[in-house]
Copies of this chain bind each other. A is one copy, B any other.
Amino acid sequence: MLPGVGVFGTGSTARVLVPLLKAEGFEVHAVWGKSEEEAGCLAKELGIPFHTSRSDDVLLHQDVDLVCIYIPPSMTRQIAVKALGIGKNVLCEKAATAVDSFKMVTAARYYPQLLSIMGNTLRFLPAFAAMRQLLVERYVGEMQVCDVRVYGPSLLDQAYGWTCEELMGGGGLHTVGSSVIDLLSYLTGERAHRVHGLLRTFVQQNGLIRGIRRVTSDDFCFFQMLMGGTGSRSGGVCCTVTLNFNMPGSFVHEVMVVGSAGRLVARGTELYGQRNGSKSEELLLGDSGWVGPEVKEMPLPHLQGLSSMVKALRESFQAHEERRSWARGPVAMAPTFEDGLYVQTVVEAVKRSSCSGEWECVEIMSQEPDPNHNLCEALQRNKN
């Protein structure tokens, strides 16, 4: 039996998610927005019976068994941890810091019977699921290099807000880079142990953000990750990622894995491959022909991935009679909160590298830091 859903957030993802949930048979009972107006507006638009700007009203809503959290990163941890504490299943977007991610991991470990997954939907895109399968089957032989490029228009919101502010979780690295970092660990089956990066904010002001306000979040980011074993100089997969959000009117999403025996390339939602020795590339998985809504803010790979994830959620919950019970199988590929912590740790290491100019180690937090430390670090970063 499918659980009742409560949605946090009124942004573009929430707006897409609700119809997808409904199409799979989920009932969306409640929506939370920053203001009553925003919540009411979305509730009316999407036919959601209850709306509020008080988070507890959704978390404690008796018909809500699954909470979907699509709000600014700095608010995510608080809602996600509370939801788990109340006994609700959680699907959520990334948090703003590794400390927040660590607190979410602690909560998820404490309630292992509850579903707790990160909303990185690229893993669910059929092209990447097929790519991973082919990599496991050694289509490319020994993996050598992953090369990812995401180019698109500005990620900034119309008005000044968290998307403009690096410390609030804005910027290409945090927003889009996160999903790439997660995807690459999923595809290679390895995690980054050292990273190097360079961030830039080429557009610091625009027609809407001006005066004393400046954008601090990156619109260009470029990083390298050395995956897996720390041993030999040439060992391990090299990942290179280029993110450029100064390219209005374009959208490029390309993920290439090169190995000793061939290569695989996902362009948008399609998968191509070429084995060494063959004359040309073969189409391994074509575009399935997306029939859902087109969303300007959401590139097709993310949109189709979201749709596939909602289907997987439906299968996971359908397997059980009880509303809150779910089967692991259909969502086994979903990123856990532990994956979320890893991704956040890489993001922060890349940012450190961009400041220091050096390769930085990726060290996953294993205990919560001194609460004062966080403040000190923030102050220190502001100084730079």
Q: Which residues of B contact A149 (CB under 8 A)?
A: 147
CA–CA, A218 and B145, complex, Å: 13
CA–CA, A336 and B204, complex, Å: 38
Q: Is A48 an interface residue (CB 8 A)?
A: no
Task: Count this chain's copies in the assembly.
Answer: 2
Whether B280 and A238, one on each chain, are in contact in the complex, defined by CB atoms closer than 8 angstroms, is no
Chain A contacts with B in 184-211, Cβ cutoff 8 A: 196, 198, 200-204
For chain A, the bracket of interface size reads: 35 or more
Complex: chain B residue closest to A203, CB-CB: B260
Complex: chain B residue closest to A144, CB-CB: B202
Given A220-B238, A357-B359, A358-B358: A145 and B280 interface contact (C-beta under 8 Å):
no
**A115 nearest CB across to chain B (Å):** 39
Given A247-B263, A249-B274, A280-B249: A201 and B234 interface contact (C-beta under 8 Å):
yes
Q: Is A250 an interface residue (CB 8 A)?
A: yes
Q: Which residues of B contact A307 (CB under 8 A)?
A: none
CA–CA, A144 and B370, complex, Å: 40
> Can you list 26 A-B pairs with a CB-CB distance of less than 8 A?
A144-B200, A144-B202, A144-B220, A144-B246, A145-B202, A145-B220, A145-B244, A145-B246, A147-B149, A147-B242, A196-B198, A200-B234, A200-B238, A222-B224, A222-B240, A246-B258, A247-B258, A247-B263, A248-B276, A249-B277, A249-B279, A249-B280, A250-B274, A250-B281, A357-B358, A358-B358
Complex: chain B residue closest to A248, CB-CB: B276
Q: Is A278 an interface residue (CB 8 A)?
A: yes
Q: Which residues of B contact A196 (CB under 8 A)?
A: 196, 198, 357
Given A145-B220, A357-B358: A258 and B244 interface contact (C-beta under 8 Å):
yes
Whether B200 and A224, one on each chain, are in contact in the complex, defined by CB atoms closer than 8 angstroms, is no
Complex: chain B residue closest to A194, CB-CB: B357
Q: Which residues of B contact A247 (CB under 8 A)?
A: 258, 263
**A195 nearest CB across to chain B (Å):** 11
**A 356-377 to B, binary, CB cutoff 8 A, 1 in contact else 0:** 0111000000000000000000
Complex: chain B residue closest to A276, CB-CB: B248
Chain A contacts with B in 265-284, Cβ cutoff 8 A: 274, 276-281
**Cβ-defined partner of A224 (8 Å) among B147, B198, B203:** B198
Whether A222 and B249, one on each chain, are in contact in the complex, defined by CB atoms closer than 8 angstroms, is no
**Inter-chain pairs besides A147-B149, A249-B278, 16 sampled, C-beta below 8 Å:** A144-B220, A145-B200, A145-B220, A145-B244, A147-B242, A196-B196, A196-B198, A196-B357, A198-B224, A202-B234, A202-B260, A248-B276, A248-B277, A250-B263, A250-B281, A357-B358
Q: Which residues of B contact A279 (CB under 8 A)?
A: 249
Q: Which residues of B contact A204 (CB under 8 A)?
A: 234
Chain A contacts with B in 232-265, Cβ cutoff 8 A: 234, 238, 240, 242, 244, 246-250, 258, 260, 263
CA–CA, A7 and B234, complex, Å: 39
CA–CA, A122 and B60, complex, Å: 66
Q: Which residues of B contact A280 (CB under 8 A)?
A: 249
Chain A contacts with B in 8-30, Cβ cutoff 8 A: none
